[in-house]
A and B are shown apart, each in its own frame.
Chain A
């Protein structure tokens, strides 16, 4: 699926969980930055 098919099962499983972990941290940081940048403007736009 993401080019891990040659690895042993435990390594493939660890890599899959690692992908989810990295994605979670990127989303936390990324969405946090977006919220800081445009959150208040968006609320003002929605409520005006």
Chain B
């Protein structure tokens, strides 16, 4: 029996993988989606299908997340529209680079190496910060009680204040009392769009810190605007890839079905488990993803197909490890709360 051209076993595999990724996305607020494209590459899909389907998955996930955040008033629409303009150009350039590299037969290798560097770098940073124990290396997602109309300009990092001091006109006034050059916004948007189009990721794990550190947007507004923007960048990116046959619904539909459920579990767990306790696992998972892509590339170069299996086990295993740690910690915390008779948040 087959649906969307996939066997039921493959559909079940994608639903299960989506569930793991959804738990990670719901809990950490970032990072889950950029395991999808490497996993699809490891499974032997063409680069354009892996990237295009990854983008379509990011689009669906961000629609769900934006629906959850829509009433919180955390979206700066002016900034969002400017980001969309810059990101669209970046995605188109990124997509053209992928298609050109694919013609040369280099796309898989170059995308894989970029993934190894990015995942490895971010994974090493998150692990280092978690081991150091100062709570850094991620984005605080407990932002729902912050009034987005409040003047938060005093909370802006020093580096953002320095960048904002270079007043290249036209200057744009943003929510939270921030004024920044249009060119800086477009530059950040183009760079993150380029990564989205090239790697098939939403770009949130780079755009969120960029909005905060480079543009100086307060975190609550950066979260909402980023989600709003990903709906469009993911939608436009997947549309562009779909035009060239790069979106496979047999991959996207089951992944999204699993991840939407997992995201509810993950976001519920944030009110029960201390993120810092789990963050070291998250860093190790990113490092596991980087090693998996590297192992796959070595397998391709040396002609050892068994390394593809090792790579797949590393990706699924590391996602399983961290999402399992989230669920296990949540259940332990709930049992402790029940035992002590204290109230449990929803």
Residues of A with Cβ closer than 8 Å to B? Answer: 1-2, 9-10, 12-14, 16-17, 19-21, 23-25, 27-28, 31, 35, 39, 43, 46-48
How many Å lie between the Cα of A39 and that of B330 in the bound state?
14
Q: B101 at interface (Cβ–Cβ under 8 A)?
A: no
Q: B331 at interface (Cβ–Cβ under 8 A)?
A: yes
Tell me which residues across on chain B come within 8 A of A23, comparing CB atoms: 60, 253, 256-257
Q: Which of A16, A27, A39, A48 contacts B242 (CB 8 A)?
A: A16
Tell me which residues across on chain B come within 8 A of A19, comparing CB atoms: 249, 253
User: Is the pair A27, B249 in contact by a Cβ cutoff of 8 Å?
Assistant: no
> B29: shortest Cβ distance to chain A, in Å?
17
Known contacts A13-B247, A47-B338; is-contact A27 B239 (Cβ 8 Å): no
> A40: shortest Cβ distance to chain B, in Å?
8
> A16: shortest Cβ distance to chain B, in Å?
5
User: Is the pair B243, A20 in contact by a Cβ cutoff of 8 Å?
Assistant: no
User: Is the pair B334, A20 in contact by a Cβ cutoff of 8 Å?
Assistant: no
User: Is the pair A47, B335 in contact by a Cβ cutoff of 8 Å?
Assistant: yes
> A22: shortest Cβ distance to chain B, in Å?
10
By DSSP majority rule, is chain A's interface helix, strand, loop, or mixed?
helix
Tell me which residues across on chain B come within 8 A of A39, comparing CB atoms: 268, 346
Q: B141 at interface (Cβ–Cβ under 8 A)?
A: no
Q: B51 at interface (Cβ–Cβ under 8 A)?
A: no
User: Is the pair A24, B256 in contact by a Cβ cutoff of 8 Å?
Assistant: yes
> B57: shortest Cβ distance to chain A, in Å?
8
Query: Smallest CB-CB separation from B332: which chain A residue?
Result: A47
Residues of B with Cβ closer than 8 Å to A? Answer: 4-5, 56, 59-61, 63-64, 67-68, 235, 238-240, 242-244, 247-250, 252-253, 256-257, 260-261, 264, 268, 331, 334-335, 338, 344, 346
User: Is the pair A17, B64 in contact by a Cβ cutoff of 8 Å?
Assistant: no
User: Is the pair B257, A46 in contact by a Cβ cutoff of 8 Å?
Assistant: no
How many Å lie between the Cα of A28 and that of B70 in the bound state?
13
How many Å lie between the Cα of A28 and that of B334 in the bound state?
25
Q: Which of B68, B249, B260 contacts A16 (CB 8 A)?
A: B249
> A37: shortest Cβ distance to chain B, in Å?
13
User: Is the pair B247, A16 in contact by a Cβ cutoff of 8 Å?
Assistant: yes
What are the 6 tightest A-B residue pairs by CB atom distance, in nearest-first order? A13-B242, A27-B260, A24-B63, A24-B60, A47-B334, A13-B243
Interface centre among A14, A17, A25 (most CB of B within 10 A): A17
User: Is the pair B5, A24 in contact by a Cβ cutoff of 8 Å?
Assistant: no
User: Is the pair B243, A9 in contact by a Cβ cutoff of 8 Å?
Assistant: yes
Tell me which residues across on chain A come within 8 A of B248, comparing CB atoms: 1
> B281: shortest Cβ distance to chain A, in Å?
21
Known contacts A13-B242, A25-B67, A47-B334; is-contact A20 B264 (Cβ 8 Å): no
> B345: shortest Cβ distance to chain A, in Å?
11
> A9: shortest Cβ distance to chain B, in Å?
5
Tell me which residues across on chain A come within 8 A of B249, comparing CB atoms: 1-2, 16, 19-20
Tell me which residues across on chain B come within 8 A of A16, comparing CB atoms: 56, 238, 242, 247, 249
- List 13 extra interface pairs beyond A20-B59, A43-B334, CB under 8 A: A1-B4, A13-B242, A20-B238, A23-B60, A24-B59, A24-B256, A27-B64, A27-B260, A28-B63, A28-B64, A39-B268, A46-B331, A47-B334
